Amino acid sequence: MLRLYTHPDCLRHDPGPGHAEQPARLRAVLQALDHDRFAALDRIEAPRATRAQLLRVHDAEHVDRLFAIAPAAATLRLDEDTVMSPGSLDAALHAAGAVVAAVDYAMSGDDRRAFCPVRPPGHHATGEQAMGFCLFNNVAAAAAHALEVHHLKRVVIADFDVHHGNGTQAIFEREPRVLFLSSHQSPLYPGTGSEDERGVGNIVNGTLSPGAGSAEFRELWDGQLLPRMHAFKPQLILVSAGFDAHRADPLADIRLGQEDYAWITGRLLALARAHANGRLVSTLEGGYDLGALAASAAAHVDELMK
């Protein structure tokens, strides 16, 4: 059974006109999933993450600062890319809470999967700071929850966003119970994710050159990343599902199509069934062409429902 966790407050995060990470992104995904073929989705309203859940991966200073500076009106720019609006804090709390709740669901039985179409995204947020459109690190909070509450010893985070998940890597690079694997364009923001960054043997970065397409993406996953996942034998798979490596995306130069997202989703689901009793939780990261994002997310969910 596939559950969908989201919350209307995730639409209230509004960085302002012209910003790439706009509410229309989530609307496009939800509209794509408002179709007869997705009628069987179990749709759940996401809770807010608790302070304790956030503090597993973020410094108290970071959490307290975002609460303290959350604007009551207008917008507040945290850096060149990252903006808070009056609705941003609640949106970010529901985004992190969605993925944590989805882990609880996945761990409650066999072959349980979830997709969390939420925003703001999370994988650039480090333990100490918001950056790259991200306030809290949603997938990291979920992984830490799986370790502490469900006592797992092997959790995989698979990140196929076109940008390196620097925040997720930084949070877990000394945590051997978490294997973080990322495919991403290089060079590209945030400038991290070289293949010699290995943590304590639990970080696997695969880089794609500008202009790479389906063949290079599939070869990277089949040849390097998926074999490492198989060897790790994860008890739970978490996915940072960014769809900005699509050929139509304006922020990068990789040339994937929605069929490639269906392919990698199928691979990850097969691996979850082989090692993790089918337990997989996916959360939305990037994707900035609305049509490509909607089609890619729909292809992803189609595979997760199989």
Residues tagged active-site: 124
- Give every CB contact of residue 246 below 8 A, 6+ residues apart in sequence: 254, 256, 257, 258, 261, 287, 289, 292, 293, 296
What is the Cα–Cα distance from 148 to 96, expressed in whole angstroms?
16
Cα–Cα distance measured from residue 14 to residue 120, given in angstroms and rounded to the nearest whole number: 9
Q: Is there a contact between 63 and 51 (Cβ–Cβ < 8 Å)?
A: yes
Contact 154, 128 (CB under 8 A): no
CA quadruple 150, 121, 246, 159: dihedral positive or negative? negative
- Residue 252, classed as helix, strand or coil, is coil
Which DSSP state fits 213?
Answer: B
258 closest CA partner among 184, 266, 68:
266
Residues 6+ apart with CB under 8 A from 190: 124, 131, 132, 163, 164, 166
